[in-house]
Each structure stands twice: as C-alpha cells, then as structure tokens.
Structure 1
Amino acid sequence: MKEIIDWIIGIEDRAHKIYEKAAFLLKDDKAFADFLWHLAADEKGHYDSMCMAAEVIKGEKDYPSLVLIGDVVKQKVEAYFGLCEKRIEANKLTKENLIDFVVATEYSEWNDLFVYAVNILKHSHRQFIPAAVNMQQHIKDIERFLEPYPKFSKFLEKIRQLTALWQEKLLVVDDDNAIVDLLKAILSDEGVIEGAVNGEEGLEKIGEKYFAAIVTDVDMPVMNGIEFYKKAVKLFPNVKDRFLFFTGLPDEQRLSFFRENNIKFIIKPSPIDDIRRGVIGILSRRLK
C-alpha cells in the first residue's frame, strides 16, 4: 500500500501544478481558466488526503496491498503527464489537448488506485470519508463543465463511466407531497433523495445519516422550517451551510433571519434551473 500511496502523492502534485500552469496559459477564456483553477484546488486536496494516508499507514501492518502498480501502468499514466507538461512549456497547449488530458488521466489507473486506497482507509478511518465525497464531487464538476460543449461529448461519456466513490444523499422537507415529488425529479441526477413532511421528521433523518444538501419549506405543521434549521444547527453545527430554503414569499422578519444567518433561499415559484443551481452550489462545497 505504501508504494501505491507514495506514487499517487507524486502524481497528485504534478496534476495540481499542471492545472495551475494551464490556467495561466488559457487565462483569456475566463470560464475555462476558472475550471482549471478549480481542478488545481481539487488535486491539492487529493494530495493532502494521500499525505494523510501515508502518515496513517506508516508502521502499520494492517494495510497490505492486494494489487501492485507495475512499471507498465506507471509509464502509461506518467506519459500523459509528460506530454501535457511539454505542451505547456512549449506554449502549445490547446483546450482540446487539456480536456483530453483531464479525461484520459481521470479514466486511468491513477484514478482506480486513488479509489482503491480511499475505499480501504475510509472503513477504519472516518477522516477519509471527506476524501471520498470530494473525489465524487470532483468528477461531477468535470461532467457539469463538459455538458454544454457538444464537441466534448465523447469525453463526457467516458467520465460518466468512472467508478463512484460516494453517492450523495439529499433531503427535501415539505408538507406538500407534490413539491417533494417535483424536487425529487429535478434533483435526481445529483444523488439519492429522501423526503420528510415536516421539520421534526427532517431532524430525525439528519440524526440518522449524512445529507449533502437539505431543501426545506418554512411553513409546515408540527415543526416549521426555521425551527428545524435552528435545532439542526444546534445539534450539528456544520449542517448550517447545507440548507437551502425553498419557500413562498417571506416576510421581512424571515428575510432578516435568512440574511443574518447567511442562509440561501429561493422563492416559490422559481425556474427549475435556479433550484438546481442552488443545490449544486451546496454540493460543490469541499468537505474538510
């Protein structure tokens, strides 16, 4: 396992540097450059996770590797990096070259070995669960970037075939079943969605499992959305950034509450894309 993790650490560091340099090189296209800066930050996070893994397995005998990297795999993956690095140094890197590199390397044994290491470690060390969540979101972010570009469709299909490390869970809390069903349909591509009919039931659910995003109404019987939020944050402080209120036009008191607590909210009715963007914004956060 040590050999695998040490090799991944080196590859993650190279990926981080490649994306940073490519972002500078392609800075005239802001959307593309921002995407590359985002990837660079992701790879730095993956690098940090593997450095933590190296410390965890140091001196332990419980992590024998069932696979070996092999020189052929190393040469194949490192060849992708070498070619991209040469193009950057020669100032000859195109957007198509870069997307080809992103997808080829994400689809390579580098990704398989990262998944292998994290899957083993997360069962005995909970601190590696964020690495699994963030890696899955990293892949989803690449998908979302590629989707609007027909010329990148072949790359998109390849990315969608990657092994999932984590499946997001989302919670929709509303006493109107029609709203719950609508949000389930709108958000089905983002993960597994559960529903609750009021804040009390929602509170029970978040006490049982981790939800990456919580979409809630305000006016509900038994326990309203604001009371639900307050109790949830008191029990689980980190949950506050995962709330999105989807509610009728709020009065000034509620608006003040949302603003004072920096809570995201969307007014009913809203365009489907606004709802999806609001949830994706929450899902795209990186866990620590």
Structure 2
Amino acid sequence: MVARRKRLVYPFTAIVGLEKLKLAILINAINPKIGGVLIRGPKGSGKSTIVRALADILPKITVVKDCPFNCNPYDPSNMCPKCSERYARGEQLPVEERDMVVVDLPLGSTEDRVVGSLDVEKAIKYGIEALEPGILAEANQNILYVDEVNLLPDHIADDLLDAAATGWNIVEREGISVSHPSRFIFIGTMNPEEGELRPQLLDRFPLSVTVEPITSVKDRVEIVKRNLEFEADPEKFYEKYKPIQEELRNRIIQARKILEKVVIP
C-alpha cells in the first residue's frame, strides 16, 4: 500500500504583504490564550491562504495519546472526565507530540458533527465514552477555522460561542450531560459584502483585521511570480522557504518561553 503524501500548503513566509494580518496571527501563535482573530476582506485577498499556512510554522502540541479529545497530559484543568480520573489515580498518562492543525468547520455542518453525537443509553452507563467526538473535540489545542463565519447558522454559532467563552464543549441530550475541553485559536474569515457578523459572535474575536488590497505594482508582480513558481513545483518552492519557516517556528517557541516569564503588575 502506497502512503499518501502530505499536501504542501503555500509557505507562510512566502506570502507578500498583509503585515498587519501576519502580526495578529503570530501574536495568537505565541499566546494561544488570546483566543483568535477575525479576518475581513474581499474574495481573493489571501485570507484562506494565510490561515492554512499557519499550521506549518506552529510548535507541536502535547496530548494524551489514547484520548480522542486531545487532552493536555500536564494540565488537569484541560482534561476530559476520563483523563482527569486517570490523572487523579496517579496513572502515568501516555504522552504523544502532534503537529498543530487547522480544523475546518464547514458551513453545512450539522450540530452533531460540530459538538459530537451522544448515545443517551450508553451515556448513562459509560459517560464521556458514549460521545462520538465532533469538530470541537478535534479543535482542542488546535486552530478552529470558519470560512464565511458571518454566514454560520445561529444554532451552530451559539455552540461556538459557548465553547469559546468557557473552553469546554458541553453536550446535553434528554437530561444527560457530558463535557470535554475545547480550547482553540478561533480564526474566522468573512467578506463584508456578504453580510455582517452577529454582534455576539463578533465579541468572541479579541482581534480583528481588515485585509486591504495590495496596490503596489512591484508587490503584485512578486505575488504572481511566486504563485506561478509554487504551482509549477510545490516541493521545490517549499524547500526554498523551509529554512525561513523553521527560523520563524523557533522564534515562536522562544517567544512562548519568554512570555512565561513576563509579569504584568
């Protein structure tokens, strides 16, 4: 059986311009507790490209290897009930490092797909193990990306609001309730021409950046040149920027270490 090759994304460091947006994204990469960014701009302005490029420059995350909710093995406050119980017993939780990923939330997603589906009968007996994990489970310790976030159905937006506000996804069915951590960097993109964002959802984004069209002829020529180069040979183009990508990743790691020592009086 032939292994499927990882699809290369356009390198973050190869993106021309968009300096304010890059800064907002890198600030979140250094301190995920900030919580995310809303990106406004017309179609074709590079919003999706820069979001998908982010994962490649992020440090790895540490998770409980056999947990479907990406629990942090060193943080009891970020554990599902099962991991928390094992931790309290003094059990050595199996640890695994994984690449941080961009988790997409498509507009057509059902509520069960987003929060997870719960078998009520099993939940009475098995608790959290009866929950089929959804997108909010996958997003824990990762990046949750919603394209056209302003077009999200209200009930899905409410689920996101609850998780973003509390850091937990709570699933309730017929009087039965189960929960798991869901702490993510929330990135939404939108085209203002297609409608505004609900005020309640807008309030959940700590940062907002409007992408302005690039008007410099020199920059526009460079964008076309790099796009053609990437399309012609993605691997060669990626290798060209790989050292710069690794340098930026290391700077993010160092910034995180320095941030731990920062004291705000």
- Indicate the structure (1 or 2) with the bigger Cα radius of gyration: 1
Relative contact order, higher structure (CA 8 A, sep 6+) = 2
Same fold (TM over 0.5): no
Give the structure with the larger strand fraction: 2
Q: Which has the higher helix share?
A: 1
Please report the TM-score for the alignment, with normalisation by the length of structure 2.
0.22
Please give the TM-score of this superposition, normalised by the length of structure 1.
0.21
